[in-house]
């Protein structure tokens, strides 16, 4: 063990409640590593049920005061948070790189996309407006309002430790809720950095809280009656578990699951644009994106040329430490790196052709880093595990089909429905595709169709459990509930006993 490792291994990444660090009572911790070196850089607290209840209690205690805080004051704090984030987002990007491994420019892009949701939430007063009808019945007015739920939970994955939480908590807080964020144990520091930023922006104690840990604290969030909703992003099996468990406890749930995103390349497409896009969408962030393209569907006679163009671009990518001048960083853990490599082994054993092999990459980083280079696999079939499973790594499979109809059937028969793309110069084909494909987010000559914050983010089929997508108007409605009020002020003409059902006249 190096001296640097000895020094940093004892840094405790704790919980956060009432605008202060809270070490908890469990005493259990897990290592946090730098994926580019393999070194332990700190230890994250693994909370107990008691720790979870303490954090939830802080959120519950803060809720009445924050709910009754004026919209004007709430938005002032949102604007202050936005300004602080904008000024210091480079600092957050470097933190993400040090624990996730993605290159700094990619981490900065993540923060910027999350910031868009903060900016959307700054306009919450307009989005919370109710409706009013005067004299709906004689001297009777009817109006509607939207109110916050209470303490809400956000359970976020390792691959976007800043952006995914920011899909949810800016809108939740702006609408008057209090938040308990449960980040991934693999890269927890971003959550604490954000908590400190909220404190600096003037957010009251207990409104934004962080609960570190594993399944123990997750189960408490899913079942504790003080928590009113759960927002989750992760794998499909866990999303199913979160949805079933939390809804059984009477909570609102939006659980975003896994993906197997296809890009269809039609014969009339610009193959250079398509090849650039496949490399960017397949290998950016080492493929650790729920919107990454993992399947390239080549239609008709273009497959050989397309594969050659992708391979040419892939072999020039520089793999290395994300803090250096690299195109692609390491995978998040050694275990995940080895799992992804096993899919390449399986594809090769099943008869697919390994065109570009990332298993023996020479990386510009530590010898113990979790390296796996970009990998391109041709002649993949739907029966192979490299196609059937969500790999979540820098592995791009090519499936060859003869017709558009075959490509559409391939996508629609897949259990996932998160994102997809089509590359074509034919407007009619593109419009037909967007109408017929059973996927939640579609790109037309755009490989990663992540919508802007004022639209909603979410997939279909096994990629989403629950009715609400993330952010946009879906987010506003998810974090609020409606009331309809019927009022009549003193009117002697309505006195007296009348047991019939009220009628509008």
Active site residues: 290
**Rounded to whole angstroms, how far apart are CA atoms 347 and 359?**
13
End-to-end CA distance of the chain: 82
Task: Give 115's strand partners.
Answer: none
List the one residue out of 279, 249, 241, 248 whose CA is nearest residue 263. Answer: 279
Task: Give 137's strand partners.
Answer: 140
Longest dimension (CA), the chain: 88
Q: Using an 8 Å Cβ cutoff, are 366 and 408 in contact?
A: no
**Rounded to whole angstroms, how far apart are CA atoms 313 and 318?**
11
3-state secondary structure of 456: coil
**Rounded to whole angstroms, how far apart are CA atoms 72 and 89?**
25
User: Cβ-count burial of 119 within 10 angstroms (0-12 exposed, 13-18 middle, 19+ buried)?
Assistant: middle
List the one residue out of 62, 80, 116 whose CA is nearest residue 200. Answer: 80
Task: Give 20's strand partners.
Answer: 17
Tokens 């803090």 correspond to what residue? Answer: 323
Q: CA neighbours within 13 Å on the CB side: how many for 488?
A: 13
List the one residue out of 379, 378, 344 whose CA is nearest residue 358. Answer: 344
**Rounded to whole angstroms, how far apart are CA atoms 93 and 89?**
6
Q: Using an 8 Å Cβ cutoff, are 227 and 250 in contact?
A: no
């Amino acid at each position: 063990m190096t001296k640097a490792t000895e020094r940093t291994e004892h840094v405790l990444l704790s919980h956060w409640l009432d605008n202060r660090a809270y070490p908890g009572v469990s005493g259990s911790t897990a290592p946090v590593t730098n994926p580019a070196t393999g070194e332990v850089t700190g230890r994250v607290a693994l909370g107990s049920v008691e720790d979870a209840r303490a954090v939830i209690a802080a959120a519950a205690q803060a809720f009445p005061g924050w709910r009754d805080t004026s919209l004007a004051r709430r938005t002032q704090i949102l604007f202050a948070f936005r300004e602080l984030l904008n000024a210091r987002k480079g600092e957050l990007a470097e933190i993400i790189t040090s624990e996730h491994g993605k290159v700094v420019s990619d981490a900065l892009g993540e923060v910027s996309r999350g910031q868009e949701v903060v900016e959307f939430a700054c306009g919450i007063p307009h989005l919370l407006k109710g409706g009013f009808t005067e004299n709906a019945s004689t001297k009777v007015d009817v109006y509607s309002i939207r109110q916050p739920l209470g303490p809400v939970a956000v359970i976020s994955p390792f691959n976007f430790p800043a952006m995914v939480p920011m899909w949810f908590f800016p809108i939740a807080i702006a609408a008057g809720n209090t938040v308990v964020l449960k980040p991934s144990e693999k890269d927890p520091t971003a959550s604490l950095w954000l908590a400190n930023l909220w404190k600096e922006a003037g957010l009251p104690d207990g409104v934004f809280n962080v609960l570190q840990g594993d399944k123990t604290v997750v189960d408490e969030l899913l079942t504790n009656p003080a928590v009113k909703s759960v927002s989750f992003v992760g794998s499909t099996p866990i999303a199913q578990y979160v949805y079933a468990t939390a809804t059984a406890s009477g909570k609102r749930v939006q659980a975003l699951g896994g993906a197997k995103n296809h890009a269809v390349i039609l014969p009339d497409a610009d193959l250079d644009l398509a090849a650039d896009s496949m490399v960017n969408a397949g290998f950016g962030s080492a493929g650790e994106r729920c919107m990454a393209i993992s399947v390239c569907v080549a239609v008709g006679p273009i497959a050989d040329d397309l594969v050659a163009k992708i391979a040419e671009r892939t072999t020039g990518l520089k793999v290395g430490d994300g803090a250096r001048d690299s195109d692609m960083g390491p995978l998040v853990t050694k275990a995940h790196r080895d799992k992804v490599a096993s899919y390449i082994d399986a594809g090769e054993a099943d008869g697919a052709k390994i065109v570009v092999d990332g298993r023996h990459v020479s990386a510009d980083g530590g010898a113990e880093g979790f390296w796996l280079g970009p990998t391109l696999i041709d002649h993949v079939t739907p029966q192979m595990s490299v196609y059937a499973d969500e790999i979540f790594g820098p592995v791009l499979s090519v499936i060859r089909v003869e017709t558009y109809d075959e490509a559409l059937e391939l996508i629609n028969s897949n259990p996932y429905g998160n994102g997809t793309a089509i590359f074509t110069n034919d407007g009619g084909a593109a419009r037909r595709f967007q109408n017929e494909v059973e996927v939640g987010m579609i790109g037309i000559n755009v490989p990663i169709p992540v919508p802007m914050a004022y639209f909603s983010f979410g997939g279909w089929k096994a990629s989403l459990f629950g009715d609400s997508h993330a952010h946009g108007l879906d987010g506003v409605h998810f974090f609020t509930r409606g009331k309809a009020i019927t009022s009549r002020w003193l009117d002697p003409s309505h006195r007296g006993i009348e047991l019939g059902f009220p009628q509008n006249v």
